[in-house]
């Protein structure tokens, strides 16, 4: 240690999972709690974390450039949101009445609405318009305590418009404090011009889109909406296998509405994660466990679709020892919210996860779902100094006191980007 750039003192309680691998099953409940803690940061990374008096004693003789007092507040790793459809244009409140009257999600899509409605607006929007809108959502996520997200394409569904979305994600990653990890999801829906010809559209994704995305280095992951009336298991397999040839790691929207077998496929193709999983069978869960796939649960989506069933988080954790992660699924249709804290509440209410499991699912396991458990997701020496400071007395308070934002401040790569509930001059987009 040459010098400490930032010392965060006065932490009432520091909560963190530990390690550089996802936490499985009952390990998800193991959270290290340190009261009266401090974190020392050097060059954007954590140098030391522990009891304040011990940290200060270890730092004797080392120059400390800046000290900030957390005022007795609670600190966790910066939250990670591993499944969002961040970049899109328009909104779909015009479908609200239809949804509330009971028209199913897939029926709205089949009528040319839903995802296809957002495709229309996204195709005509300029890169700048997409950037500005997504940037505002990213600010919102940051103010919720989120420091890294994943963002999927899939509202262009043509070569140029998919590339446009992914370029916006990359520009946001480069200019906004929140890290944006990109996923190519050209197979999010079958566009109007390919209606009834989904195999031809799959050919287009494979022949034209995958090579172009890989050539420009625009994505790390490839995702498919494997669902009845969208892409079947065989089509999904083709896309994910071809994606691997182009260096894109597979992810899959699986068993959201109909249990088609997307989870089995996730295990077979070695997917990094499988998402939704509202209707997954025991066989599907076994396949996820055998394939080391991270299940990403999206309780905001089942809530907002008004479903009475939820992902089987307790079985996943208790019976199948899976490393469950949580995410907003932020998108303009099934889950229009940037609020990870709403998801924390719903994970407690509907998934029956404990506050400790929820923290692991929103940090280390969420990081694992985007291949970053070695770099973020816990407060330990060597990891990126991404920290969220909450105005909350303890961990259980987050799912307990719901509907408000508990985040007081956020430190990203060692820099305070939000403080006293507002973005600092280092927060937001560099405009």
- Residue whose token pair is 């916006």: 168
In the list Fe ion, ligand NIG, none, the entry touching 118 (Cβ below 5 to 8 angstroms by class) is ligand NIG
In the list Fe ion, ligand NIG, none, the entry touching 350 (Cβ below 5 to 8 angstroms by class) is none
- The footprint of ligand NIG on residues 177-236 (CB under 6 A) is 225
The residue range among 333-341, 345-353, 360-368, 398-406 that interacts with ligand NIG, by the rule CB under 6 A, is: 333-341
Return the number of the residue (44 or 229) whose C-beta is nearest ligand NIG. 229
Alpha-carbon distance of 265 to 355, in angstroms, equals 31
Cβ atoms of 327 and 356 closer than 8 Å = no
Count of alpha carbons within 13 angstroms of residue 120, beta-carbon side: 9
Return the number of the residue (143 or 224) whose C-beta is nearest Fe ion. 224
Cβ atoms of 252 and 265 closer than 8 Å = yes
Q: How far is the CB of 161 from Fe ion (least distance, A)?
A: 18
376 is written with which tokens? 């973020």
List 34, 118, 236, 378, residue binding ligand NIG (CB under 6 A): 118
Phi, psi dihedral angles at 318 (to 5 degrees): -80, -40
Alpha-carbon distance of 358 to 337, in angstroms, equals 18
Q: Is 9 in the site for ligand NIG (CB under 6 A)?
A: no
Binding mask 273-312 for Fe ion (x = CB under 5 A): ----------------------------------------
Q: Is 334 in the site for ligand NIG (CB under 6 A)?
A: yes
Return the number of the residue (330 or 408) whose C-beta is nearest Fe ion. 330
Alpha-carbon distance of 346 to 224, in angstroms, equals 25
Return the number of the residue (189 or 379) whose C-beta is nearest Fe ion. 189
Q: Any residues with CB less than 8 A from the CB of 184 and at least 6 apart, and which?
A: 152, 153, 162, 166, 209, 210, 213, 218, 219, 221, 222, 223, 243, 248
Return the number of the residue (301 or 407) whose C-beta is nearest Fe ion. 301
86 is written with which tokens? 């961040």
Which of 137, 92, 232 lies closest to 151, judged by CA?
137
Return the number of the residue (224 or 385) whose C-beta is nearest ligand NIG. 224
Q: How far is the CB of 256 from Fe ion (least distance, A)?
A: 8
The residue range among 113-121, 158-166, 281-289, 423-431 that interacts with ligand NIG, by the rule CB under 6 A, is: 113-121
List 253, 310, 312, 372, residue binding ligand NIG (CB under 6 A): 253
Output the known binding site for Zn(2+).
83, 85, 253, 329
- Residue whose token pair is 């979305």: 165
Q: How far is the CB of 148 from ligand NIG (least distance, A)?
A: 19
- In order of 97, 303, 310, the CA distances from 306 in angstroms are 13, 5, 10
Count of alpha carbons within 13 angstroms of residue 330, beta-carbon side: 23
Residue 96: Cβ within 10 Å count: 10
- Residue whose token pair is 């709205």: 108
Alpha-carbon distance of 290 to 115, in angstroms, equals 32
Output the known binding site for N-formimidoyl-L-glutamate.
155, 331, 333
Binding mask 316-355 for Fe ion (x = CB under 5 A): -------------x--------------------------
In the list Fe ion, ligand NIG, none, the entry touching 86 (Cβ below 5 to 8 angstroms by class) is none
Q: Which stretches of the chain bind ligand NIG, using CB under 6 A?
A: 85, 114-115, 118, 225, 253, 256, 301, 329, 331-335
Q: Which stretches of the chain bind Fe ion, using CB under 5 A?
A: 329
């Amino acid at each position: 240690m040459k010098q400490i750039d930032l010392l965060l003192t006065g932490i009432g309680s520091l909560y963190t999972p530990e390690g550089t691998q996802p936490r499985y099953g009952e390990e998800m409940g193991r959270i290290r709690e340190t009261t009266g803690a401090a974190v020392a940061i050097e060059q954007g990374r954590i140098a030391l974390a522990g009891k304040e008096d011990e940290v200060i004693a270890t730092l004797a003789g080392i120059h400390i450039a800046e000290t900030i007092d957390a005022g007795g507040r609670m600190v966790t790793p910066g939250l990670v949101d591993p499944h969002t459809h961040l970049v899109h244009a328009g909104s779909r409140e015009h479908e609200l009445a239809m949804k509330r009257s009971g028209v199913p999600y897939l029926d709205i899509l089949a009528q040319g609405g839903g995802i296809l409605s957002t495709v229309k607006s996204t195709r005509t929007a300029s890169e700048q318009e997409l950037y500005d809108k997504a940037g505002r959502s990213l600010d919102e996520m940051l103010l919720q305590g989120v420091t890294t997200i994943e963002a999927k394409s899939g509202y262009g569904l043509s070569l140029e418009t998919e590339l446009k979305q992914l370029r916006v994600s990359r520009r946001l990653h480069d200019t906004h404090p929140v890290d944006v990890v990109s996923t190519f999801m050209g197979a999010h829906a079958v566009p109007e011009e390919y209606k009834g010809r989904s195999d031809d559209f799959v050919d287009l994704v494979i022949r034209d889109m995958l090579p172009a995305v890989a050539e420009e280095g625009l994505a790390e992951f490839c995702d498919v909406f494997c669902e009845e009336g969208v892409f079947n298991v065989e089509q999904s397999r083709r896309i994910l296998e071809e994606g691997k040839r182009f260096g894109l790691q597979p992810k899959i929207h699986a068993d959201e509405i109909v249990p088609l077998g997307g989870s089995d496929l996730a295990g077979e193709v070695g997917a990094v994660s499988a998402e939704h999983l509202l209707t997954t069978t025991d066989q599907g869960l076994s396949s996820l466990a055998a394939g080391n796939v991270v299940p990403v649960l999206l309780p905001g989506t089942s809530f907002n679709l008004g479903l009475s069933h939820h992902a089987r988080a307790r079985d996943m954790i208790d019976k199948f020892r899976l490393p469950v992660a949580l995410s907003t699924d932020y998108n303009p249709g099934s889950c229009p919210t940037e609020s990870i804290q709403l998801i924390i509440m719903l994970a407690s209410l509907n998934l029956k996860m404990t506050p400790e499991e929820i923290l692991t699912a929103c940090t280390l396991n969420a990081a694992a779902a985007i291949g970053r458990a070695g770099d973020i997701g816990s407060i330990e020496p060597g990891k990126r100094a991404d920290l969220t400071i909450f105005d909350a007395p303890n961990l259980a308070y987050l799912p307990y006191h719901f509907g408000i934002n508990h985040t007081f401040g956020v430190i990203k790569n060692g820099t305070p980007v939000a403080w006293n509930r507002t973005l600092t001059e280092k927060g937001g987009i560099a405009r």
